[in-house]
């Protein structure tokens, strides 16, 4: 099954060229901001000016042009590649709530004959298993772990022109250059960018210094192994401020010059702009997180996360959710289908026609280890959203483990962290509320 893969710019800043040209003029030209913008209206020199300024290295001027892209029926591998753009915004079709059994998977156009048949057979087998696991009563959020990383994703991406150029360059000249699907998307986006903003096209040909090209060789163990739900997402605190309380005090005095009022953690927690919390940075290792779980983690934009290439996962190591483990019929399908898929993939990837597409043979339930660094302000948001009972269980398990480590490091601050009902006394979920607010308040008010 192969649907039309498309990347289309569906919206971009009204008057984007005029705004960027105005930005190019404002630092070196007399006149106020509105007057310079009026001068840029219908000015035939705008594109040349933008190109000249960008070529000189002052690329911040093009950050004023913003594009929204609809990505249709691309592989989830492509989705993961895009999401690594930290200065972009994404909205993705949820695998927790949407049935993906009929949404298809990406088929490389170059495949033909026996190689194409083998590829389709492998993919179809996992989609059949997904449907069978759903039919056995397993929730969509857990059935998705058998989906291959070729399954079709649809999402929106919004980013500025500078980030869009860096993304296209990364595909054309950097680590995406060995991925035909990404190359086809880069061609589509380059053509559209050329029509909307021709002065930026020369930027696409700048080489990507230091970016690795190609992809690692797929990893396979001698036999499949299973990571149970309780064992997934083990968290280790690797680095933390030596004296976080002192840092917060210094940040308080810096942000409130002349005040005689001492820092209050209660006031800081209720502040609408707790910039002091950004001075506290924490680095974590997260071991045995599924590829599906990584998509939840990386949606937090204000972090520095290190994620290995999808093809570098151990294709033989799988998560085993409780809903599957406790369902004999689903467990048999789950174990058999993933074991068979693992052994078959190892054989298929010896085929020179299929070997370049090893990343599509990973599944959402494959495990990897990641590392991330976040400041306390972003950790407050992460815990508020992910420690909620409405959060997906894997990322909730990770959020709770992170919170436990933080409370052990600096309890005076982090004992105040928790889900919305604990922080504010109210649940924002409306009719989706778990109805256990008092229980949750007591839980997070004690020792985790």
Tens of pLDDT along the chain (448 residues) come to 455 789 999 999 888 889 999 998 887 888 889 999 998 998 998 889 888 888 888 889 999 999 999 999 999 999 989 988 878 898 888 888 888 888 899 999 999 999 999 999 999 999 999 999 999 999 999 999 999 999 999 999 999 999 999 999 999 988 888 899 999 999 999 999 999 988 888 888 877 765 555 567 777 888 899 999 999 999 999 999 999 999 999 999 999 898 888 889 999 999 999 999 999 999 999 999 999 999 999 888 889 999 988 878 899 999 999 999 999 999 999 999 999 999 999 999 999 999 999 999 999 999 999 999 999 999 999 999 999 999 999 999 999 999 999 999 999 999 999 999 999 888 988 888 999 999 999 999 988 8
- In the DSSP assignment, the letter for residue 153 is E
Q: Is 281 left (phi over 0), alpha (psi -120 to 50) or beta?
A: beta
Which residues are tagged catalytic?
A: 386
Residue 358 token pair: 């090893």
Q: From the CB of residue 133, how many other CB atoms can be counted at a distance below 10 Å?
A: 26
Report whether 144 contacts 97 (CB < 8 A).
no
Instruction: Quickly tell me which residue has 């399908």 as its tokens.
Output: 333
The Cα–Cα gap between 401 and 236 comes to 9
> Pairing mode, if any, of strands 152-160 and 234-239?
unpaired
Q: From the CB of residue 120, how many other CB atoms can be counted at a distance below 10 Å?
A: 15
* Residue spans of beta strands (DSSP E) within 82-163: 89-92, 152-160
CA distances for 275 relative to 256, 272, 331, 378, 438, angstroms: 12, 9, 48, 10, 30
Cα Rg, the chain, nearest whole Å: 25
Please provide the distance, in angstroms rounded to a whole number, between the alpha carbons at the two ends of the chain.
47
Instruction: Quickly tell me which residue has 């492509």 as its tokens.
Output: 78
Which of 346, 421, 330, 391 lies closest to 145 in space, CA to CA? Answer: 330
Report whether 304 contacts 238 (CB < 8 A).
no
* Nearby residues of 50 by Cβ (< 8 Å), 6 or more positions away: 17, 20, 21, 24, 61, 62, 197, 199, 200
């Amino acid at each position: 099954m192969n649907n039309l893969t498309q990347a289309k710019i569906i919206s971009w800043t009204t008057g984007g060229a005029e705004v960027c040209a105005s930005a190019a003029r404002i630092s070196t030209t007399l006149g106020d901001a509105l007057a310079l913008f009026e001068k840029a209206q219908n000015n035939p020199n705008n594109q040349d000016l933008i190109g000249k300024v960008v070529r000189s290295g002052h690329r911040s001027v093009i950050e004023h042009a913003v594009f929204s892209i609809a990505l249709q029926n691309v592989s989830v591998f492509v989705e993961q590649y895009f999401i690594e753009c930290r200065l972009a915004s994404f909205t993705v079709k949820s695998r927790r709530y949407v049935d993906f059994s009929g949404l298809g998977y990406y088929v490389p156009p170059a495949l033909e004959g026996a190689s194409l048949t083998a590829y389709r057979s492998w993919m179809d087998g996992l989609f059949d298993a997904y449907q069978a696991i759903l039919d056995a009563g397993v929730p969509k959020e857990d059935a998705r772990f058998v989906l291959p990383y070729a399954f079709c994703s649809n999402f929106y991406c919004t980013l500025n022109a500078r980030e869009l150029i860096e993304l296209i360059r990364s595909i054309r000249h950097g680590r995406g250059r060995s991925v035909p699907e990404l190359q086809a998307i880069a061609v589509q986006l380059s053509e559209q960018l050329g029509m909307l903003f021709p002065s930026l096209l020369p930027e696409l040909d700048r080489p990507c210094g230091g970016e690795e090209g190609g992809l690692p060789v797929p990893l396979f163990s001698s036999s499949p192994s299973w990571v149970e739900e309780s064992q997934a997402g083990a968290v280790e605190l690797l680095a933390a401020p030596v004296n976080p309380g002192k840092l917060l005090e210094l940040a308080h005095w810096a942000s409130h010059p002349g005040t005689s009022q001492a820092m209050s953690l209660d006031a800081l927690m209720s502040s609408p702009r707790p910039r002091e919390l950004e001075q506290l940075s924490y680095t974590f290792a997260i071991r045995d997180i599924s590829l599906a779980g990584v998509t939840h983690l990386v949606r937090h934009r204000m972090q520095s996360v290190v994620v290995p290439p999808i093809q570098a996962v151990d294709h033989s190591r799988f998560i085993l959710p409780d809903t599957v483990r406790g369902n004999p019929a689903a467990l048999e399908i789950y174990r058999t289908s993933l074991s068979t898929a693992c052994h078959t993939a190892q054989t298929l990837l010896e085929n020179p026609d299929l070997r370049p597409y090893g990343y599509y043979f990973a599944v959402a339930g494959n495990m990897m280890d990641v590392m991330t660094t976040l400041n306390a302000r972003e950790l407050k948001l992460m815990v508020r959203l992910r420690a909620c009972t409405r959060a997906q269980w894997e990322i909730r398990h990770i959020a709770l483990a992170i919170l436990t480590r933080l409370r052990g490091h600096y309890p005076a601050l982090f004992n105040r962290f928790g889900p919305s009902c604990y922080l504010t006394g109210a649940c924002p979920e409306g009719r989706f509320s778990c109805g256990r607010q008092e229980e949750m308040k007591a839980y997070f008010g004690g020792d985790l």
